[in-house]
Amino acid sequence: MKAIFFRFSTYAKFAEKIQNTKFATIYNYETQVKPALSIYESMGFNEQMIFRIFKNRGLSLVKEDALNDIGQLNELFKNRLNAEAKQMRTILFKDPQILSHSIEKMGNYLDLFEKQLQISKEEILSMLTAYPLLMRNFEVNYEKFRNVFNTYAHVNDKQFGQILVNTPFLFSFNLERIPPNFRVMYNREYKTKEIQELVQKTAEFLALKNHDFDRLLNHYDVLIPNKEVQHQLLVNNHKLLLLTPAYMLSPKINLFKEIGLSIQQIGQILQICPNLFLKSVQTLKLKLKFFEKHLNFKIKDSPHFPQILEFDYWTVLRPRLVILNNLENAMDNLKMDQDEFIKKYNCEQKYQELLNEAPTKKKIDADFMIRKYHRYCHDRIQLLH
């Protein structure tokens, strides 16, 4: 009943919608639009998705040959890539114009991916699901980008295949920016092998404006003067190459300067906890404020600095602040010092029991166990009232 109502309401809305558009004179509702709706519905598209496709693509998918192409494309991806209905919906929803490609050519592209570039079926499907626009002007783009990467990074076919897997939107980049960015890296004494390793993880940094990319590497030159150490850090943490200095890196460096750290110390933090620099400036500022103002504590003097800043503020740090405040209030009301309170309510023993179990657990489980300790403390506080 629900399916019948869906079809009726969808057809009725489309019929009404088309009558008031230029498409009423271009496409026949009964012979073109209605059959297309039936195919989309059979593939699991909901009403909202169908409306969006037809609205954004100007009903171009109801041309006479398009209906046949949908079935052929679905069959090709199902047989060659083991694509499921959900993945086909995603591909068609992201780029309905993929139907404009010749099925024969699409099969040839899949052959190239599998045989020449040595990309697995699972990776091809993942790549197309993430960015089906890769297939647009594929032959022209492939030759241009393949030549550039071969000339400047000397990548082989398999390596280029890995580049496409991890950066499927590669062909959307401004090709003119890529050679100068390669030269920027060679000027900083990056080895070809290091560049190959980087671009296989992500080639996204090559899309940065050359000036921005050069400024970004200048920051790393200042923070980590040792070239070998710096290059290894960036190869192992390639996302650091996506931080444009004006918007993401410089403000974080300034935040650390404000708490009294030198450039050398900030460089050491970068090596110990590179993920800190991938978080937003607001997040880092919130954590520093938490320790400096709420706990009245110089975070840079902590033996656990900088690792302690990697904890999530909302799920880890802030709940612990609430517990600490409650414990302090409870001790004040009982006129007990910290040692007396711990001894009387067995907090230390409970904490040690959890810590002893933690190393045998996964990291996330260990953190959960420590939270149980805070729950234990909270329960002890409730007993006092």
| pLDDT per residue rounded down to tens, the chain (385 residues) | 334 334 434 555 655 655 555 555 556 667 766 777 777 777 777 767 776 666 655 455 555 555 556 778 888 999 999 998 889 888 888 887 787 788 888 999 999 999 999 999 999 999 999 999 998 888 889 999 999 999 999 999 999 999 999 999 999 999 999 999 999 999 999 999 999 999 999 999 999 999 999 999 999 999 999 999 999 999 999 999 988 765 688 889 999 999 899 999 999 999 999 999 988 888 888 888 888 777 677 888 878 888 888 888 887 777 766 666 666 666 666 566 666 655 655 555 555 554 455 444 444 444 444 455 555 555 544 544 4
pLDDT score at 85:
84
Q: Which long-range contacts (CB under 8 A, 24 or more apart) does 180-185 make?
A: 180/210, 181/205, 181/206, 181/208, 181/210, 181/213, 182/152, 182/153, 182/206, 183/152, 184/210, 184/213, 184/214, 184/217, 185/217
328 within some domain: yes
DSSP code, position 21: S
372 within some domain: yes
pLDDT score at 12:
58
170 within some domain: no
pLDDT score at 191:
95
pLDDT score at 326:
63
How far from 243 is each of 71, 166, 177, 207, CA to CA, in Å? 43, 18, 17, 12
DSSP code, position 31: I
Cα–Cα distance for residue pair 330/311, rounded to 1 Å: 26
pLDDT score at 299:
82
352 within some domain: yes
Of 205, 359, 11, give the one whose Cα is nearest residue 197.
205
Sign of the four-CA dihedral 211, 214, 218, 220: positive
350 within some domain: yes
pLDDT score at 333:
61
Cα–Cα distance for residue pair 200/194, rounded to 1 Å: 10
pLDDT score at 365:
47
109 within some domain: no
Give the global pTM.
0.74
Question: With contact defined as beta carbons under 8 Å apart, do 91 and 132 qualify?
Answer: yes
357 within some domain: yes
pLDDT score at 4:
37
Q: What domain range includes position 358?
A: 311-385
Domain count along the chain: 1
